Every structure is written in structure tokens, then in C-alpha cells.
Amino acid sequence: MLGGQTPIIVLKEGTSREKGKGAIHNNISASNAVADAVRTTLGPKGMDKMLVNSIGDIIVTNDGVTILKEIEVEHPAAKMLIEVAKAQDEECGDGTTTAVVLAGELLKRSEDLIDQNVHPTIITSGYRLASEKAVEILNKISDPVTPKDENKLLQIASTAMTGKTVGVVKEHLSQLSVKAVKAILEKDSKNNYIADIDWVKVDKKQGGSINDTELIEGLVIDKERVHSGMPKSVRNAKIALVNSAIEIKKTEVDSSIKIDSPKQLQEFLTEEENMLRSMVDTIAKTGASVVICQKGIDDLAQHYLAKAKIFAIRRAKESDMKKLAKATGARIVNNLKNLTKQDLGSAGRVEERKIGNDDMTFIMECKNPKAVSILIRGGTEHVIDEVERGLHDALRTVAVAIEDGKLITGGGSAAIELAQALRDYATTVGGREQMAIEVFANAMEIIPRTLAENAGLDFINTLIDLRKEHKKGNKYAGVNVDTGKVTDMKKLNVLEPIRVGSRAISSATEAAIMILRIDDVIAAKSMPGGGGGPGGGMPPGGMGGMPGMM
């Protein structure tokens, strides 16, 4: 019953609530803490971070998204920013630090506007206009790139691996990445390139040096042949991909067979033998010299296969079967009885090799393979893991560069060009939104500024020089982190796919807008040991669960 004067309690006891400017400032502080955590890793001279998780595992990395995935933040706004990094990584494989640093800067600068009593909705609508315009400008200043532009693609791969500890072998890894992506290229119905790097299988095995990392035109499977009597190496292999067991089916229900005499037993065994022999005969008759089976292979069948000089692997992964079909041109057969010569694929060589302590099977020298493997080698696990992250960035950036067919220059050159064009654009919009667009334009400069800072350069002088060069029309002028001079990034071969830049801008903007629109944070009472509510006493820069950082 509603009593006339009784206050109405809507929220549960213990719920905390923060409203208005307080909530916005608090969210911005938390976002800045995240941005600050990765800022110092940006660019070729960025530092690495050592992350130690709760069970003591160590990761040394320069990779923005890896750092953000590992640290455990509790603040809801900080979590939103980390989502930006993850989305950027999924879509482009690179530019994660850029996106987060940009989002942090957009938010930091909007605090001034809020303090000047510009309403958040004006800021967000200005940011949205600016972001759309920025992508339009990027397209205008971009250059075309095709799969034939080998050099440009190599430079894109190499730029993507900047700052990773892969330094010395960058060239080697760039070449592998470009070769791999070009191999798996396909075209869709509209004649556009599709570069799905899921068709590049990346394996790693400790041992050897990074330089031994190799591309296999085909597939590497972490399995050995089932029988030592089988050939270890097969040339001009004809490959059967079988998705059914080469065994006699066990009955589903318990059954017993009554055998009365030794003769009957013999007949029964012979019958079984005959069935297995006929299965192997089916395979041998097609001319197959290699069988990759997704299910089991009976011991006796293994023996017959070995006798027929057929190389066989059992219990291959489904994903490997699909890649093998793409690489060798074989068709996966679900019923062994239906296997014909037409289903077979081919490879120049199938071979079992000892890599480190393991025997692996190489299905290699495939003609025009639409799936390939890269086998990463290296002395320690930490090195191998960082090579894997670098390679992932290189593969993705080369792939998106080919898919979009456009590239931009890095080193902060595109950011400065955007800043200038956006300032011009702001005056055409006018009103209060003009202020927001100008702030957005200035925020773009955080990229060259941070690159300069991380290289130990005087960032104010660098920014002044950059603005001057761009005013003169040198749209490729960027930060040369080695000489400290402003240099033409095209001449320095610092190239990036357009998607890395455009996605970083649009996802940073989306995150900033989302965070700015929140003016009321209502948090349920935290469970013991659970996350803190809004403003849970978290100071800027203070995040839980990241000992040993910075």
C-alpha cells in the first residue's frame, strides 16, 4: 500500500549510484588508466611489458591486445575500452594500441568540453561527424595496392611487426606472410579478393632458430605414421582423405557369437581379416599412396597398408582434413566404399620428419595449394610466442590490404593529415559541434606525439615540424623514430592497410561516445571478492591484477 509521505525506495540496499558529471569523470579516468597502460608500447621504439599472472606465468610482449587481454580490470568503462582492442584485433590484426590510445585521448579531451558546459550529446554528435569525415579523408589520401605489388605488401608486413622482438628476422617473416596470403587468395562472386587467413595454419615447435621458421606449401600435421613399416617419405603422393574408420565396426549392443569348433573360430577370424583386407584393397586400387584418416585404423589394416607401401595417419583433426582438401585438391570421403581415383588429391612429397622431439608429417610441395602451413621455430617459448603474435599481425595486415586494395602511410603521417583536414571541416559545420570536431582533430595528434615520446624525442618540436610539412603539402611526412627528423614515410617504407587506420578511428570513436553517453552508473552491491562498483575507489592508473607492470 502506498503511504502518502513514505519515501519510495527503488534500489536494493547496498546498491551504489553515481550520477552526472561525477559519473562521466570517473569513467574517463578509468579509460585513461587503460590507455596509459599500453601507451608506452606504441610504435617501433615502444617498450615491452612483462606480465605476470596469478599463477606466475610470464608473458613479455609489446602487443596491445595481448596486454589488455591479460590484465584483469574491474571498472566497467575500462572493460569497454578493452573490447575496442579486441574488436580491432579481430578485424585487422593490428592497430590495437592505436585504437585504445586514440579512444583515451578523445575522452581526456572531452573532459575540458564538459567542464566548459558543452553537453555530452553535442560532443558525441561532433565526434560522430568527425569520425565519418576522417574515414572519407583517409580514403582520399590512400594509395592502391594489388597482390602484384610484392614490395608494398612486404613493407606492410614489416610495418605490422614493428616493435616486436622479431627485429632481426623481420624480413624473413614478412616474406613468409606475403607468400602465404598470396597462396590462399580467392575471389568472391563479385570478383573481389577474399583472403581468409584461417587457411594459413600456424604451428610452433621449440628448437632451432627463428630463421628456421618455414612456409610449407601444404600442411604440417602433428602426427606420425601409424606403422613403422610404412614408407617414411612418398614422392608424387596421391592422397586419400577418409572420414570413416578403417576398422570392423563394433556392435552397438552387447552380442555374443557362439562358436562350437576351432574351424568356426578360424572362419570367423578369416572373415574379419578379409573385410579389413578388402578395405585396404579399395584404397590401394585407387592408386592412393597416402591415407589420412579422421577415425581409427585397425592394427591389421595398418599391417596391410604398410605391406602395400601406403603412408597412413589416423585420427586427424577435422580442421586439418578441411585444410588438406584445400591444399591437395582431395575430396573428403565419408564412406570408404565410395572412394575413387577422382577423390584423391596430390602433393609433391609427403614425409615424416623429426622436429625437436616430435615426429611430424609434412604434406608439402602441393601445386597451387589453397591452404598452407607456417612452422615457427625458436629457442625459447617466449620468443616463439612473440613471433607467433608478430606473424599473426603480418598475415592479417597483408590480407586486409589486399582485400581493401588500399594503403596509407604510418608514422603519424596520416594522423596529422587528418587533423588538418578535420580542422578545415570543423569551420564548415560551425556551432557548438565545431568545437567538438576541433577537439577530435587535435586528439588525432596523439599518435605522432606518442611515437615521438616513446622514441625519446622532443614531441613539441616534432609536432611543430610535422604540421609545417603537411601545410606545405607533404602528406606523407611522419616521425622518423631513428633520426628524430620528420621524414617522408613512403620513402621510409612505413605502409599500413587503410583498414587499420579507419577501423582504429571508428572503433575508438564508438567507444568514446558510448562512455560519454553514460551519466548514471548504478551498480549492484558487490559480492565478497567481486568487482567494485562505480568509482569503487579506483584511482586513475590503478587496476587490479597487474602486478609487475610498467
How far is Cα 121 from Cα 91, in angstroms, rounded to an integer? 28
Nearer to Mg ion, 94 or 404 (CB): 94
Binding partner of residue 159 among ligand ADP, Mg ion, none, CB cut-off 5 to 8 Å per kind: ligand ADP
Q: Which one of 40, 61, 63, 282 is the catalytic residue?
A: 63
CB 354 within 8 A of CB 122: no
Binding partner of residue 239 among ligand ADP, Mg ion, none, CB cut-off 5 to 8 Å per kind: none
What is the smallest separation between the CB atom of 536 and Mg ion, expressed in angstroms?
Answer: 32
Position with the least CB separation from ligand ADP? 410
Strand partners, 205: 377
In the residue annotation, 213 being an active-site residue is answered as: no
How far is Cα 194 from Cα 59, in angstroms, rounded to an integer? 33
Binding partner of residue 410 among ligand ADP, Mg ion, none, CB cut-off 5 to 8 Å per kind: ligand ADP
Q: What is the DSSP string of 370-416?
A: SSEEEEEEESSHHHHHHHHHHHHHHHHHHHHHHHHTEEEETTTHHHH
Q: What is the DSSP string of 504-545?
A: HHHHHHHHHHHHHT--EEEEPPPPTTS---TT-S--TT--TT
What is the smallest separation between the CB atom of 93 and ligand ADP, expressed in angstroms?
Answer: 9
Binding partner of residue 447 among Mg ion, ligand ADP, none, CB cut-off 5 to 8 Å per kind: ligand ADP
Interface residues toward ligand ADP, by CB under 6 A? 41-44, 46, 64, 94-98, 159, 162-163, 410-411, 447, 451, 478-479, 481, 494, 496
Nearer to ligand ADP, 163 or 329 (CB): 163
Nearer to Mg ion, 220 or 401 (CB): 401
What is the smallest separation between the CB atom of 95 and ligand ADP, expressed in angstroms?
Answer: 4
Angle at which helices 459-471 and 413-429 cross, to 10°: 70
Binding partner of residue 76 among ligand ADP, Mg ion, none, CB cut-off 5 to 8 Å per kind: none
Binding partner of residue 450 among ligand ADP, Mg ion, none, CB cut-off 5 to 8 Å per kind: none
Q: Which one of 320, 385, 393, 465 is the catalytic residue?
A: 393
What is the smallest separation between the CB atom of 447 and ligand ADP, expressed in angstroms?
Answer: 5
In the residue annotation, 286 being an active-site residue is answered as: no
What is the smallest separation between the CB atom of 484 and ligand ADP, expressed in angstroms?
Answer: 11
In the residue annotation, 97 being an active-site residue is answered as: yes
Nearer to ligand ADP, 41 or 289 (CB): 41
Question: How far is residue 203 from each of residues 80, 200, 391, measured CA to CA in Å?
Answer: 32, 10, 11
Q: Please, which residues have CB within 8 angstroms of residue 204's CB and are 6 or more apart in sequence?
A: 375, 376, 377, 378, 384, 385, 387, 388
Binding partner of residue 64 among ligand ADP, Mg ion, none, CB cut-off 5 to 8 Å per kind: ligand ADP
Long-range contacts, stretch 90-93, CB < 8 angstroms, 24+ apart: 91/400, 91/499, 91/503, 92/396, 92/397, 92/400, 92/497, 92/499, 92/500, 92/503, 92/504, 93/160, 93/392, 93/393, 93/395, 93/396, 93/397, 93/399, 93/400
Q: Which one of 41, 61, 66, 97 is the catalytic residue?
A: 97
3-class secondary structure for 271-291? HHHHHHHHHHHHHHHHCCCEE
Binding partner of residue 411 among ligand ADP, Mg ion, none, CB cut-off 5 to 8 Å per kind: ligand ADP
In the residue annotation, 94 being an active-site residue is answered as: no
What is the smallest separation between the CB atom of 94 and Mg ion, expressed in angstroms?
Answer: 4
Nearer to ligand ADP, 298 or 496 (CB): 496
What is the smallest separation between the CB atom of 90 and Mg ion, expressed in angstroms?
Answer: 15
The mark string for 67-106 relative to Mg ion (x by CB under 5 A, - otherwise) is ---------------------------x------------
Residue 330 three-state SS: coil
Nearer to ligand ADP, 80 or 481 (CB): 481
How far is Cα 201 from Cα 212, in angstroms, rounded to an integer? 17
CB 51 within 8 A of CB 71: yes
CB 216 within 8 A of CB 373: yes
What is the smallest separation between the CB atom of 69 and ligand ADP, expressed in angstroms?
Answer: 13
Q: What is the DSSP letter of 114?
A: H
How far is Cα 67 from Cα 76, in angstroms, rounded to an integer? 18
Q: Is residue 320 a contact point for Mg ion (CB under 5 A)?
A: no
> Footprint of Mg ion on this chain (CB under 5 A)?
94
User: Catalytic residue positions?
Assistant: 63, 96-97, 393
